[in-house]
Structure 1
Amino acid sequence: MRIGDAEKTTGRAGRLLRALLAVLVVAAVVVPLVAAARPDIPAPAPAARTAWTAGTLEKTYAANRSNAELASEMARDNGDRHRAAADSALAAPGRHLLSFDGRGDGRATEVLGDLAHAHRIAILVPGSDTTLDTYARFRAGADALYRRLTREAPAGTGVAVIAWLGYTTPDTISTTVLTPDRADEAAPELRAFVAGLRALTGPDTHLSLLCHSYGTVVCARAAARLDADELVLLGSPGTGADSASGLGTRARVWAARGADDWVADVPHTSADLFGTTIGFGRDPVSPAFGAQVFAAGDGGHSDYFTPGSVSLANLARIVLGESTEVTRAQDT
């Protein structure tokens, strides 16, 4: 490398690091004020979990609906009408909750479809700012995918979609969104969930993890011991790995980014600062990463599951195993 090229590379790295530090400074000021303004939300302890079997699923769903209804009543008594409404929606008849925890930002895992008899299952892992208060938006994406899958699945192929809000997501304006700490906490939870799902469905069921934004960091942290067939990275800020093979997964790794996704402007670098890793490294849609890059259309960061979109069509093809029909990024 020539001296001039080296100086340019060093300059770019320095600018990227300064950008990350600037975000840290802003977050250090803003986040404590936001957190201080957020009151605790009372809720019951989660319902006791039992092993999932075809015979126990309905009891599990019913127990978690009851827990969500109680959480709604407690939130309403506490004057939090927004959370009360969110919990009440989850408690409605017909909602299939594998888990629910109304405490704090909240957690929920919801099934769309007949889980016990599904041949192909998609698990959605969300990114930052996903809580029980914003869960309806996350669930809408899962519903859009489920509707598309049921239309396009071959006759006799059962499908299910799982909205997995199984961890405490970081706030977009926060220091936590720049580090892998939340992902490191979430990874064992995701592995345990997938292991329990495998025990229910058996080894022949095809599992696809569709991971969005900071959720791609969660999936990457869990990937090495995650029994999945497809790993899809959507709008990723990076995974902490330099390559798809560096994730250590047997799953086929896919990646996509919409043309209007602001995450393209996020510095795809990482640095150690005071013993903490800041940033997530190489861009998963870059050729050097080695993922199967597919087209996501003109959408923005929150548009990957928009009905009728190029992205949703390709996600359905991946889940259904129609890999040769997936539109590659270079084909658009």
Structure 2
Amino acid sequence: MFFSKRNHSLSNTFFLWIGTVLCLGFYQPILAGTYEEAYEMEQTNTLFAIPLYEKALTTKPTGKLQKAVVSRLFFLYKKHSKLLDALFLGSRYPSLIPSKDRTWIWNQLAEIYKPINVSDLSGTYVFAVKANVENATELKEHLKIQNLPKLYEFASILLLKRKQYNVILSLYEENPNMFPSPLFPGISQFKLNIEQGKEFLKKVLADNDKERSDQEKSDILYLMGVHYRQSNEQELSARYFRMSGSFFAKPRADLEASKSLVLQGKTKEMCSTFKFVSSPYDEIETILYYQCAPNGGQSLRFLLPSIQILSEREGNEFLKVLYTKDGI
């Protein structure tokens, strides 16, 4: 695999060690090495520096190194409009992130969810980040009082990020009218159990009398794509993802269909079917852009440390197939 091809010279390792001791005042060569790698990537591609800084943060740095990692990561989250990631990071390290920057994040979210104000969004956030299957009472009461589908959507996104799937399902069961689309409860069902997901889809599809919006049609077809991917029927998965894009959210559909094609070993078909751009917001779309571009492999070589990290994340398994099989 190409992941094992990146090597550091002995001199680079030595200078990283010296830099750690002199600049940080304590011995953390591995942590500092990860940070230096992230900082080096930032000079080449700021978007792909993010996974490396995230990896550096998982090693639990302390002192000046922690401050450096958190500061750079928060800055890049803002730069690339990864608002929820910035929000979670700011909450985790409030003493390291200036209040004006945290306020900026909330103002951006309020712009997205207008006319909902910052106060209602932040209240939802406070309750959603501590809700679990044993205790979601405060979140439920807050959402019932507000009675706004957009707040249920915001809460669901936060809960998905925390993998609190059962909490999403409990919200849906208590107030299904606040979910104009089956997307969030459907994803939650599939995350918990493929059979539960199939049963949920059957119930949704059985409701033939309901008049559906284009977004709802797209989300149902998207869930069908998820179902067939989990069943390892990648051809059907790609077909349903593509169908979902004919109604709504075409970029989402194209990306997911591409993953299914790669999992079938149809990389050339993917490149001839879809057109990708070098996105300032999405690492996966950018990887596929370089993969399909003439001589794109040269650009991908510089991104390999970040691609390795991304390939280990849920939903990105296709990256291992793509580069194990085809190489760069």
Give TM-score, length-normalised by structure 2: 0.29
Higher normalized strand content (fraction of residues)? 1
Structure number with larger C-alpha Rg = 2
Higher normalized helix content (fraction of residues)? 2
